[in-house]
Structure 1
Amino acid sequence: MHEVNLWFCLQEAGDDWEFAEVREKALRIEQLITGFDAHTIKADFRILNGKYYVTLTCFANRPRAHELGIIDSLVSEVVHLLPGSYGLIYERDDERTDFPGHDAFKVTVLARGKLSVRVDPFLSPVSLVVDDEEGMSDGG
C-alpha cells in the first residue's frame, strides 16, 4: 500500500507581505486542488481564523505516476507561491526497499520554503498485528 498524509499552513515569507496577496495565492492553491482527479486522493482547503490550510490524503495499492504527479504539483506550487509555508508530508510504501525501508514512513518537512527529508521518530515501523486463532476464540 502507498499512503501519503500531507498538511501545510500557507503563508508568505517574512513580515513584509500584504494580506490580499496571500489570499490571492492561497486561492490559486485551492483552485489547483479542486482540479485534482484521482479516486485515491482527497485534498481539502480550509480557512481557519484567517490562516490558510491544505491537507491531502492518498491511499492506493501502489505508487502511481498520476497520483505522484498530483502531489508533486501541489508541493511545487506551495513552495513557489508561498515560501513561508510550513508543514509535513508523511509517506509510506509497504513495498519500499530504499530509505527509509519496509513499513517505515518517509517524512518530508516544509519550512521556510525548503523541503528536507527526515527520519520518522513516531510512526515507524508500522507493525500490523493479526489476531491469532486463540485470541479470536475467546472474543479478544
Structure 2
Amino acid sequence: MIEFNGWVRLALSTDGEGEDHVTGAVQGVLPFVDTVRGHDTFPLIQARNGSYYLHVAGNANHQGEDWTETEQLLHKVARRFPGAYGVVYLRDDEDSQGNNNAFVVYAVRRGVVECLPDPFLSPCNPVIEE
C-alpha cells in the first residue's frame, strides 16, 4: 500500500515580490496538474485569501504512476515557484530503501524538493499501528 498527503503554498519569491504574476504561473502548471489526476490520486490547486495552494493526496495498493507523477509535479512546482514551500507525507509499505515501516516527508522549499525521514508518525508500528 502506498499513501500520500500534503500541501505546497505556491509563491514566486521568498520575499513576496512579484506575487501579482502568480496567477499566470498557476495557469501554466494547471494542464500538468490535470494529467496527474487518476483513480487513486488527486492534485488540486486552490486560492485562499490571495494565495495559491497545491494539495495532493493518494492511496493505492502498490506504487505506480500515481506517486511517480505526483513527485514529478512537486519538482515542476519547485522549479516554477522558487518561493514555494510545503510538505508531502509518503508511506510505501513495499519500499525497498528500508522505509517500509515509516513515512518519509517531501519538503518543498526555495526551489528544491528534498526527501527527509519523518519524526512524528514513524516507525508506523508501534507509533500508529500495532
When the two structures are superposed, what TM-score results if normalisation uses the length of structure 2?
A: 0.85
Q: CA deviation at 1:40?
A: 0.5
Matches of 2:124 and 2:31 in 1, distance apart?
34
Please give the secondary structure, in 2, of the residue aligned with 1:87. Answer: strand
1:5-16 equivalences in 2 (<5 Å)? 5-15=5-15
Matches of 2:62 and 2:71 in 1, distance apart?
16
Matches of 1:9 and 1:125 in 2, distance apart?
28
TM-align CA RMSD: 1.8
Structure with max Cα Rg: 1
Unaligned runs of 5+ in 2: none
Matches of 2:55 and 2:62 in 1, distance apart?
20
Q: Say how many residue pairs are matched.
A: 127
Q: Which amino acid in the other structure matches residue 80 of structure 1?
A: R
Matches of 1:57 and 1:120 in 2, distance apart?
17
Please give the secondary structure, in 2, of the residue aligned with 1:20. Answer: helix
1:38-53 equivalences in 2 (<5 Å)? 38-53=38-53
Matches of 1:35 and 1:112 in 2, distance apart?
25
Unaligned runs of 5+ in 1: 130-140
Percent identical among aligned pairs is: 28
Q: Which amino acid in the other structure matches residue 113 of structure 2?
A: L
Matches of 1:86 and 1:46 in 2, distance apart?
15
When the two structures are superposed, what TM-score results if normalisation uses the length of structure 1?
A: 0.80
| 2:83 counterpart residue number | 84
Matches of 1:72 and 1:95 in 2, distance apart?
17
Moved more, 21-30 or 46-55: 21-30
Q: CA deviation at 1:102?
A: 2.4
